[in-house]
Structure 1
Amino acid sequence: MTLIDKIAWLHLHEGRLLSTRSHGKDRYYIPGGKREAGETDEQTLLREIREELTVQLEPASLVYQGTFEAPAHGHPAGIRVQMTCYSAQYSGELQPAAEIAEIVWLTYQHRPLVSAVDQLIFDWLRERQLLAD
């Protein structure tokens, strides 16, 4: 089994979760990305969010939320993604950059539009009454 190691930013506002869609993709994804060699979770998340959304996460506000694992969307069977999630405050204005085509705010009704690992996170957020129906 191959495991893709990703770090993600859970940012909720009024019961909606910030999500993104990359150019040429058919699913929405929670912002974040793959760790580069030698990077910590914090370094990965700060870099990825700055590159994708043009905002600066505040390192002192990072809070671990959970780690989720599921089959990787768009990959052959046997490839799984492990998503380690954090919440954090930020400064700046959210704007799509790099490979990001659009920024959206999703509720639980949008669950079918996200990847398998994101669906687990949607369920987890809903169980905690953090994600609106």
Structure 2
Amino acid sequence: MIDKIAWLHLVDGRILSTRSRGKQVYYLPGGKREAGETDTETLVREIREEVSVEITEPTIEPAGVFEAQADGKAPGVVVRMTCFTAEYTGTLEASSEIDEIAWLGYADREKVSAVDKIIFDHLHEAGQLT
């Protein structure tokens, strides 16, 4: 099991996604927990590292937990994505290992990881992702 935290940031029916260096697939911003980190600490650190903004901690809200086969891993290796929404301060820009930031709609579903596809379906069914 790969335990990850992700930020769901939607604007006008599109969701913020990132593409890492050397990858073709887009992922929701976030990442793996470091030893001893809480969900909040992981979310704040990962979002700062990937898209250069500061999550406003009092606005963090749970948005669901999703599981799927992990991309590029042996069959049976599952990624569990614990998702949150939150407001932020700063200007979104790619940093660290991120090559590109993109605003994706439901039509872009085939460009994302397996677990992100499940999240895209969930958001689309809820009328949040167009």
Give TM-score scaled by structure 2 length.
0.99
Work out the CA distance in 2 between the residues paired with 1:84 and 1:131: 18
Counterpart residue number, 1:123: 121
Give structure 1 stretches of 5+ with no counterpart.
none
Counterpart residue number, 1:79: 77
Cα-Cα RMSD: 0.4
Out of 24, 29, 32, the position equivalent to 2:30 is 32
Counterpart residue number, 1:5: 3
1:68-118 residue CA offsets vs partner (Å, 9 max, x unmatched): 000001111111100000000000000000000000000000000101100
| 1:33-72 map, 5 Å | 33-72=31-70
| SS in structure 1 at match of 2:45 | helix
Aligned residues: 130
Give structure 2 stretches of 5+ with no counterpart.
none
Out of 89, 97, 100, the position equivalent to 1:99 is 97
Q: Quick one: which amino acid aligns to residue 64 of structure 1?
A: P
Percent identity between matched residues is: 57
Work out the CA distance in 2 between the residues paired with 1:117 and 1:128: 17
Work out the CA distance in 1 between the residues paired with 2:113 and 2:107: 14
Q: Which runs of 4+ in 1 moved over 3 A?
A: none
